[in-house]
């Protein structure tokens, strides 16, 4: 699988490396797009990753249709954007992935004026409350 950084022009790679919020669009069972704000990161394997839980509509949509779109807007110039159209891969989080996610969350929380948000990976066992975590790759 090619890495995301080599697939994106150098002029826009900073949008992938920055702790920004993106819009993830999935397709529901009726074929309509559904969009939601998400966090993302480029993992050590240079793959674009996000996190969803099985009780969320975006997870249900991706189970039905893996086609999705991630849209990132540069906060300094809203006309500079990066759109990634892809077929998602739903996978369980890798063993030991937690420290990297916590580091990414610390970077996001340290932004001035940024309110604390819910973690990408809730600090619960994968089976807690009937929810399962999945990694988008």
pLDDT tens figures, 35-49: 999 888 888 888 888
* Average pLDDT in the chain: 75
- pLDDT score of 1: 60
- pLDDT score of 60: 92
Question: At 108, which helix (H) or strand (E)?
Answer: helix 98-109
Q: Which residues contact 43 (CB under 8 A, 6 or more apart)?
A: 49, 97, 100
Q: Over 50: is that where the pLDDT of 115 sits?
A: no
- For 43, the token pair is 């993992």
CATH of the domain at 122: 2.30.110.10
Cβ atoms within 10 Å of 88's Cβ, excluding its own: 24
- pLDDT score of 29: 95
| Total number of domains constituting the chain | 1
Taking the C-alpha atoms of residue 53 and residue 58, their distance in angstroms, rounded to an integer, is 9
Query: Residue 69 belongs to what domain range?
Result: 4-136
pLDDT tens-place string over residues 65-74:
999 999 999 9
Taking the C-alpha atoms of residue 118 and residue 115, their distance in angstroms, rounded to an integer, is 10
């Amino acid at each position: 699988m090619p890495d995301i950084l080599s697939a994106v022009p150098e002029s826009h790679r900073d949008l992938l490396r920055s702790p920004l919020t993106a819009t993830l669009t999935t397709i529901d069972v009726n074929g309509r797009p559904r969009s939601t704000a998400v966090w993302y990161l480029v993992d050590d394997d240079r793959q674009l990753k996000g996190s969803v839980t099985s009780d969320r509509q975006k997870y249900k949509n991706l189970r039905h249709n893996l086609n999705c779109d991630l849209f990132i807007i540069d906060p300094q110039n809203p006309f500079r954007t990066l759109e990634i159209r892809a077929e998602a891969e739903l996978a369980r989080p890798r063993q030991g992935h937690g420290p990297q996610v916590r580091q990414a969350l610390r970077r996001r929380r340290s932004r001035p004026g940024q309110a604390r948000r819910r973690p990408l990976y809730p600090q619960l066992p994968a089976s807690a409350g009937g929810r399962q975590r999945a990694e988008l790759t």
